[in-house]
Amino acid sequence: MSSTTSTTTSWTVTPSPIGELLLLADDEGRVTGCYVDAERGAPETSAVWRRDPAPSREAAEQLEAYFEGERTTFDLPLAPHGTPFQLEVWRRLYEIPYAETVSYREIAEQVGRPDASRAVGQANGRNPISIIVPCHRVIAADGTLGGYGWGLPRKRWLLDHELRVAGKVLT
């Protein structure tokens, strides 16, 4: 994951079972965003951006394979924009294994700030590359879903989808 900025943003929209996804990529073809429908916090498409599916084509194909149950990991160049703390949290999110969950507290411990569960939750909520950087796999310490910017029904759908694909028993 890189945090450098580029000058041009390309965007495209791709369908998914949970709603249309807005994919953003920089001029080097690195994914900078994956947002659902009119997600709170999603950027508005800008007049200086160009609508071009080519830079996001691989991301769209990998997301389609994910939703079809044919892919459990992503292999894409990523360039999220955030603070050093956010970038560290997002790196940890990216490492959460498919069909598994961790708590906000566990992520806080992994980034060396065991008392920062709330800050981890805020960074998690600002993840600009959802699904690919699997913020949906982070739950509350008591096992409940916690929050999710795309809504709890979508979080539940993503977690259940992964459990089904992995052949794990749904609870």
Catalytic residues: 135
- Report pLDDT digits (tens) over 106-133: 999 999 999 999 999 999 999 999 999 9
Question: Letter for the amino acid at 100?
Answer: E
Report pLDDT digits (tens) over 65-91.
999 999 999 999 999 999 999 999 999
Please give the Cα distance from 138 to 103 (Å, whole number). 5
> What is the pTM (predicted TM-score) of this model?
0.90
Helical segments of 26-115, H only: 57-67, 84-94, 104-110
Domains of the chain: 9-67 (3.30.160), 84-166 (1.10.10.10)
